[in-house]
Structure 1
Amino acid sequence: MSAPGSKRVLITFARSFLTLDLARLMSAAGHDVTVVDSIGLPVSRFSNATSAFVKVPSPTFEPRAYCRELARIVTEREIDLLIPVHEETDIIAMLRADFPDTCELFLSDFEVENNLHNKFEFQRVLAERGIPTLKFAQVRSQDDLEALDFDTPFALKECYSRGSQKVYKVTPGDLPTDIEFSPTNPWIAQEWMKGTPYCSYSVCRDGEVLAHTLYPVGYAIDGRSCIAFDAIEHAGILDWITSFVKQLNFTGQVGFDFIEDSEGNLFTIECNPRGTSGIMLFEPHNRVDRAFTGEATELITPDPGTRKMIGFGMGLYGWTKASRNGRTMREFVRDFRAYDDVITNRRDRLPAFMMVVAYIDIARMCFKYRVGLAEAFMHDHEWDGVAIEP
C-alpha cells in the first residue's frame, strides 16, 4: 500500500544514472516509480527502487509512437507525475496534447523549453532581458563563418548539441573548412573566455527554485563533461538562477553552465532544461522529491561537502591527463577512493552488478549508429530542432 501523499511517478531514460538516482530518491520517499527506455536492459530496470520497467519506442526516431506509448502507460498505471530526464523533454512538450489531464508533465511549454535548449536562442533570450552575455553569433553556412567579426578565439558548436560534443575552439584567421551545416541545426559562435567554470542544477515549479545545487568543473571527460561532483555554494549564481527562472515562470529541471571571470563577473554559457548530474548530489534524507511534487516549503540543497562520482566514468576516463584538470595521478587515486559512487548503493546493489549487462545495448548502438560510446548513450534520445506535427 502506498504511503499517504505518495504519487505514482513515471521517469524516462532509464539507462541514465540520473534516472537511477532520481528513482531511488523518489522511492525512498514512498513514491511508486515506473521507468521507461527504448533499450531493453537499462541500468534502472535492475533497481529495487522501480516497481516497473516498460520498453518504449525511440523518442528521436519515433517521436509520435513514443509519446503515444507514454500516454498509454500513464493511463494504464494511473501515473500522477511524469518526469522527463533527457532531450525527450522537448518532444513531450511539443506533443503534450497526447497526454491525459490526470497526469502532470514536469516541464514547461515547448516555446520555453526550446528557447533554453537552443544555444543561440538562449543567448538571445538573455540579451533581450539585458543580462550580460559573451559575444555570440549564429552561423548557418561557411559564408556566415567567414563573415564573423571575432578578433579573439571563440567556441563553435551546434545550437542543438549535448555532452560537449563537436565543440571547436576557433582562432580568427584559422577557420575550419569541414563543418557540416544543417538547415534545422545551425551553429553558434561564442566568445571563448578564461575563468572558473561551474555547473548548476535546480528543480523549479511555477517560476520558483525549490531545490538547487552547484558544482565546479573538476574531473571531466576531455575537461568538459563532469564525472565527479562536489556540492558547493555560490550566492551570486543562486540569485541569478532565482531571478531568471522567475522571469520565465519556469517549471522543470534545469542546469546552467557558468563561467566567472577574475573580477567576479558571471556569464552563462548555455542551459540544459532537463535533468543534469546535480541530482546525484542529493541524499534521501534531503527529500528532494518535495520539489518535484510541489510540497517544498524551503530551498532544498545537498548536505555541505557532499562528493559523488560516476565510478564507471572515472574508471574509464578520470585518470587521463585531459580529464584530471591539472591533478596528478596520486591525487586521482586519492579522490577515487574518497568520492562516493552514485551507482553503488548498499540498499540497492543489483544495478552495480548489472552494469556490464546494461551496457550491452549501448555497445550495440555504437555499431548500429557508428558513433562512440558517449554518443551512443544518448543518440536515440536526442532532439535537434526538427518539428514534429501533433
Structure 2
Amino acid sequence: MARSGITRLQNTQGESDRKHVCITFGRSFLTLDLARLLAAAGHKVTIVDSIPLAVTRFSNATYDFYKTPSPKFQPREYCLELARICREQKIDVVIPIHEETDIISMMTDVFPPECTLFLSDFVIENGLHNKYDFQQLLADRNIPTLRFAELRSPEDVAALDFTTPFALKQCYSRGSQKVMKVYPGDPLTGLEFDPTNPWLAQEWLKGDKYCTYSVCHEGKVYAHATYPVRYAIDHNSCLTFESVEHQGILDWVTDFIADIGFTGQVGFDFIENEERGLFTIECNPRATSGIMMFSPQDRVDRAFFGENDEIIFPDPYKRKMIGPGMLIYGWRKSARPPGVSLRQYVRDYWETDDVITSFTDMRPAFMVPFAYANILRDCAKYHVGLAEGFMHDHEWDGVRI
C-alpha cells in the first residue's frame, strides 16, 4: 500500500513524466536520501534489500519494499528476483547503490528490455572498481598517477622497490576497510593472496583529501558534488559532508567521464599536494555520500533521467552528517580531523544537519536501532565489524558469475 507524507514539490511535472524507480540496498542512508529526493519530485519509489528491516523501507518516500537474496552470496538468484520485480511492477529505471552494480552489470540480459538499468557495461564497471586496473587505466591515458604496483604473490612483494611509504589495500575493497601504511623495509610476510583479489601498493602522499559524486549519462556529467574529507572512519569513509567548489576536480571528472563514456553514479577520491598537484587515488563506480548534499529544490532527479542541460550542483558549503555514524565513530581520534578536539566535535555535531532525521519523515530515524539489529546479526554471522557488516552481503570481490 502506498504511503504518503513526504513533502512534494509543486507543479514539477505531469503524470506522464512520473517514473517508477527501483533503488537497491535499502539499508543505506544514501538510498534513503535518494528515495526522498525522487519522491519529492513526484516519482514512485520501490526499494529492495536482502535484510527485512532496511531503514528506507519505513520512509514515507517508499511506495513498496521487497526482500531479495544476497547479491554477494546468491548473485544469480538476486538478479533473477530483481528482474522479476521489475517485470511485475513495471519498473522504469533501476538505480543500484552499492557493489551489486557490478553483479547486475553481468546479468543485464535477464531484465525486461523496457527497464533501464542505470549503470555501464561490466567491462567499464569492473575497470573502475578494481583499484589496480583503475590506476592502469589512468596511466594508459597519460593521466598522472601516484606510483603503484600489483601484488599477486610473495615474489611480487620481494620485488617491490618503493623508497617512500606506501598504502597497501586489496584491489577489491571499500573505504571503511583497512588500509595499511607500509614503510620501506617493513616485513609483509603475513599477507594472504587471493587469485581473484590481489593487493595494490600505492604511493602514500600527504595533502588535502577530497571526494566526489557525479550522475552521468553516456559520457556527460549531469550532477556533481565535491566535498573535503573531514570526519571519517579511519580517515577514509566520510561521516560529514560539506559541498565545496573545486574547478580542477570538476574539470578532471568531466574530461574523464567523457573519455570513457560512463553511465551511472560514480565517485572519485582525490588528494592534492601543494608541490605535486592533484592525483586520483581510487574510483567508486556507484553511489557515494555526495548524493546527501542535494536538496529537493535542486531537482537532482532530472540528472538520473538526463533531462537537465547544465550540471546540477548542491548549495555550496551545505553541511550534512550521518548522525549514527558520528555518534559511534566521529568522536574517536582516528575519525576526527587533525587538531579537532572532543569539544569541537560536540559543537560540530550539534551544528550539522543529520541526513536521516526529517520532520516530515520520522519513521526511518525511529527504526534505526531495529535496522542496526539486523546488521549486527550479520556481523556475528560473518565475523566482521560493524562497518564491514553494514555492506558485507552486498560486496563484490572480483568473482565472476
Q: TM-score range by the shorter chain?
A: over 0.9
Residue identity opposite 1:148 in structure 2: L
Residue identity opposite 1:141 in structure 2: S
Deviation at residue 190 of structure 1 after TM alignment: 0.4
1:30 pairs with 2:37: no
| Distance in 1 (alpha carbons) for counterparts of 2:178 and 2:155 | 20
Partner of residue 334, structure 1? 347
The correspondence of residues 192-271 of structure 1 with structure 2, limited to 5 A, is 192-263=204-275, 265-271=277-283
Alpha-carbon displacement from aligned partner over 1:180-237 (angstroms, at most 9, x marks no partner): 1101000110000011110000000110000000110000112211100110010000
CA contact (8 A) 2:215 2:265 kept: yes
| Distance in 1 (alpha carbons) for counterparts of 2:187 and 2:270 | 26
The correspondence of residues 47-58 of structure 1 with structure 2, limited to 5 A, is 47-58=59-70
| Distance in 1 (alpha carbons) for counterparts of 2:329 and 2:178 | 18
Partner of residue 6, structure 2? none
CA contact (8 A) 1:3 1:31 kept: no
CA contact (8 A) 1:229 1:308 kept: yes
Gaps of 5+ in 2: 3-13
Alpha-carbon displacement from aligned partner over 1:290-320 (angstroms, at most 9, x marks no partner): 0001111211010122100000000111111
Partner of residue 84, structure 1? 96
Residue identity opposite 1:360 in structure 2: A
| Distance in 2 (alpha carbons) for counterparts of 1:332 and 1:298 | 37
Residue identity opposite 1:247 in structure 2: D
Residue from 370, 394, 397 that aligns with 1:357: 370
Deviation at residue 3 of structure 1 after TM alignment: 2.9
1:296 pairs with 2:308: yes
Residue identity opposite 1:270 in structure 2: E
Gaps of 5+ in 1: none
1:380 pairs with 2:390: no
The correspondence of residues 97-136 of structure 1 with structure 2, limited to 5 A, is 97-136=109-148
Deviation at residue 264 of structure 1 after TM alignment: 6.2
Name which of structure 1's ranges 67-76 and 259-268 shifts more when overlaid on structure 2: 259-268
1:159 pairs with 2:171: yes
Secondary structure of 1:202's aligned partner = strand
Residue from 156, 160, 177 that aligns with 1:148: 160
Partner of residue 370, structure 1? 383
CA contact (8 A) 1:158 1:166 kept: no
Secondary structure of 2:314's aligned partner = coil
Secondary structure of 1:260's aligned partner = strand
Deviation at residue 321 of structure 1 after TM alignment: 1.2
Alpha-carbon displacement from aligned partner over 1:308-352 (angstroms, at most 9, x marks no partner): 000000011111111112201121111111110000001110000
CA contact (8 A) 1:81 1:106 kept: yes
Residue identity opposite 2:60 in structure 1: N
Secondary structure of 2:16's aligned partner = coil
1:276 pairs with 2:288: yes
CA contact (8 A) 1:146 1:175 kept: no
Residue identity opposite 2:138 in structure 1: L
1:139 pairs with 2:137: no
Partner of residue 18, structure 1? 30
Name which of structure 1's ranges 1-10 and 200-209 shifts more when overlaid on structure 2: 1-10
| Distance in 2 (alpha carbons) for counterparts of 1:82 and 1:46 | 20
State TM-score, norm by structure 2.
0.95
Alpha-carbon displacement from aligned partner over 1:231-269 (angstroms, at most 9, x marks no partner): 001000000000000001100000000000113611000
| Distance in 1 (alpha carbons) for counterparts of 2:105 and 2:344 | 44
Deviation at residue 176 of structure 1 after TM alignment: 2.2
Name which of structure 1's ranges 175-184 and 304-313 shifts more when overlaid on structure 2: 175-184
Partner of residue 168, structure 1? 180
CA contact (8 A) 1:10 1:83 kept: yes
State TM-score, norm by structure 1.
0.98
| Distance in 2 (alpha carbons) for counterparts of 1:373 and 1:335 | 24
CA contact (8 A) 2:176 2:234 kept: no
| Distance in 2 (alpha carbons) for counterparts of 1:323 and 1:361 | 25
Residue identity opposite 1:328 in structure 2: S
Secondary structure of 2:104's aligned partner = helix
CA contact (8 A) 2:176 2:388 kept: no
Partner of residue 297, structure 2? 285
CA contact (8 A) 2:320 2:355 kept: yes
